[in-house]
Amino acid sequence: MKKLIIANWKMNPTRGLDARKLFKSVNTIASKLKNVETVICPPLVYLESLGELVTNRACVLGSQDAFWEHAGPFTGQVSADMIFGTKARYVIVGHSERRALGETDSDINKKIKSILQFPLIPVLCVGEISRDDDHQFVKLVKNQIRLALVDLTDEEISRVVIAYEPVWAIGSKAKKACEPADCREMSHIIKTVLADLSNSEITKNIPILYGGSVNSENSESYLKDGLVDGLLVGRASLDGKEFIKILKIAEKS
């Protein structure tokens, strides 16, 4: 299985020209990698423009979100239909920043169901805000997965990617980093939950990613010792040279 490296640009960059320049620089390197699937998730406003640059499928595009309705009076929302109309093929759902704005597990479940009506791959983000000594955070993450995937068939569950992002380890205010051992523990828990939800032969092939202050200095340790199949990269993906380093590390891991 190829390593899956997803860049989440969030609300960056501010100019379309800069977005195209960054995409081109990454795409040039990604086209030479045999063991990595590179996905770029820019702000929605850039999807059409960057889609024009997707010719050799070196970089695949993704969306940072999608609404569950197909069309209608939903000001500011973008449907899975619209996303599929671009060249995007992945959709991030349940990101911690969306959850912080009030997105619920029920909302996420509806989004995944809508996304799966198209040849799109949902990237379900799960993770705890903090870790407690009695391990209640494990129950929280398990519930996030169960509620997000409720009423999905085995085939539908098999199309989902899971990204573990411990909120406590993200950003400049993080008190400590998530160690590869922490990541490995949670990856094992996620695999166990998935096996309980669906056919174990199907779920064992579901990619699990790590996302949380990933950079070129720690990416190798997560890929080798964290029991994950790839990375969800935030801030570091906005630096072309830094992100390319991560891609090359993934290629060799």
Residue positions annotated with a catalytic role: 95, 165
Q: What is the 3-state secondary structure of the chain?
A: CCEEEEEECCCCCCCHHHHHHHHHHHHHHHCCCCCEEEEEECCHHHHHHHHCCCCCCCEEEEECCCECCCCCCCCCCCEHHHHHHCCEEEEEECCHHHHHCCCCHHHHHHHHHHHCCCCCEEEEEECCCCCCCCCHHHHHHHHHHHHHCCCCCHHHHCCCEEEECCHHHCCCCCCCCCCHHHHHHHHHHHHHHHHHHCCHHHHCCCCEEECCCCCCCCHHHHHHHCCCCEEEECHHHHCHHHHHHHHHHHHHC
Cβ atoms of 127 and 96 within 8 Å: the answer is yes
Cβ atoms of 207 and 227 within 8 Å: the answer is no
